[in-house]
């Protein structure tokens, strides 16, 4: 696996950016992400003033409103420590779009500096921590869904599968639609519900057809969308954020 950027040595401290969906719906995934980092000997700092990254407004075309939300985040990470984000979606917003959002403003240098310190959780565990995992779980067939932002915007299609590949009792099954969107897409699911429903139906069928007993993703929006579809269909197949899955099987 070839890293897409230069990675620093493992630091003593990091910031953790929790994301809205983790805060509101999947807090345990955030706590498990912190536990994974702390187990690597890293002190994790969680700024309690953090809010939304601004992506919903940004992708809906409300750039002034997104800038106001994002500006509040710029002040929360003053030390030169990495900022770990358990979401390719929010990580992509901060790394890629913050510099664009603040270009030509007095905040552009600050936005670029912060963007250079943003790492998605699985990326950081693989390329900075060089984590080694010992599986303590039962045999299981698992499908991995990588979000569009993590795959295309951050170039991280390989990091989560690399971590799952270290789990001796886990068989990572290949779904036919591995690279396709689940249909969530932030506000896309709200603005185009019929299209979103058709996309998640295709995705859920592909995961089930692959023989998966469980599915894992690194983005809570995808987890909510795919897991909700299985639940609506009264299927036993359930999903989990990769932070919780890794912690549960290795602790």
Q: Scanning the structure block, which residue is given the tokens 């002034």?
A: 64
Q: Look up the CATH architecture of domain 140-250.
A: 3-Layer(aba) Sandwich (3.40)
Series of mean pLDDT values for 10-residue runs along the chain (251 residues):
73 98 97 98 98 94 96 96 97 96 97 97 98 98 96 94 98 93 87 92 96 97 95 94 98 96
Q: Give yes or no for a contact between 112 and 99, defined as CB atoms under 8 angstroms apart.
A: yes
What Rg value do the Cα atoms of the chain yield, rounded?
18
- What's residue 189's pLDDT? 83
Mean pLDDT, the chain, whole residue set: 95
Classify residue 77 by its DSSP letter. Answer: -
pLDDT for 4 equals: 53
Q: Torsion-angle region of residue 142: left (phi > 0), alpha (psi -120 to 50) or beta?
A: beta
DSSP 103-153: TTSTTHHHHHHHHTTEEEHHHHHHHTS-------S--EEEEEE--HIIIII
Crossing angle of helices 220-232 and 193-209, in 10° steps, is 80
Distance, in Å, from the CA atom of 251 to the CA atom of 246, rounded to the nearest integer, reads 8
Q: How far is CA 12 from CA 8, 9, 30, 43, 95, in A?
A: 12, 10, 19, 6, 22
The CATH 3.40.50 portion of the chain extends over 140-250
Residue 70 · residue 99 · CB < 8 Å = no
Q: What pLDDT, in 10s, does the model give residues 195-245?
A: 999 999 999 999 999 999 999 999 999 999 999 999 999 999 999 999 999
Burial class (CB in 10 A: 0-12, 13-18, 19+), 59: middle
């Amino acid at each position: 696996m070839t890293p897409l950027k230069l990675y620093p040595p493992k630091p003593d401290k990091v910031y953790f950016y929790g994301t809205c969906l983790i805060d509101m719906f999947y807090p345990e995934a955030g706590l498990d992400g912190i536990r994974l980092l702390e187990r690597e000997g890293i002190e994790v700092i969680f700024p309690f003033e953090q809010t939304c990254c601004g992506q919903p407004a940004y992708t809906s075309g409300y750039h002034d409103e997104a800038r106001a939300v994002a500006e509040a985040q710029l002040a929360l990470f003053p030390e030169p420590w990495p900022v770990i984000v358990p979401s390719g979606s929010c990580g992509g917003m901060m790394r890629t779009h913050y510099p664009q959002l603040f270009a030509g403003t007095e905040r552009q240098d600050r936005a670029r500096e912060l963007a250079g310190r943003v790492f998605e959780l699985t990326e950081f565990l693989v390329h900075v921590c060089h984590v080694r995992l010992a599986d303590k779980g039962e045999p299981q067939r698992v499908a991995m869904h990588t979000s569009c932002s993590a795959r295309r915007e951050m170039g991280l299609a390989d990091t989560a599968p690399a971590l799952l590949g270290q789990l001796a009792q886990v068989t990572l099954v290949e779904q036919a639609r591995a690279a396709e969107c689940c249909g969530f897409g932030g506000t896309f699911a709200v603005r185009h519900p019929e299209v979103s429903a058709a996309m998640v139906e295709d995705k859920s069928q592909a995961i089930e057809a692959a023989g998966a007993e469980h599915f894992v993703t690194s983005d809570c929006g995808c987890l909510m969308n795919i897991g909700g579809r299985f639940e609506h269909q009264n299927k036993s197949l359930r999903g989990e954020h990769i932070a919780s899955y890794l912690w549960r099987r290795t602790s």
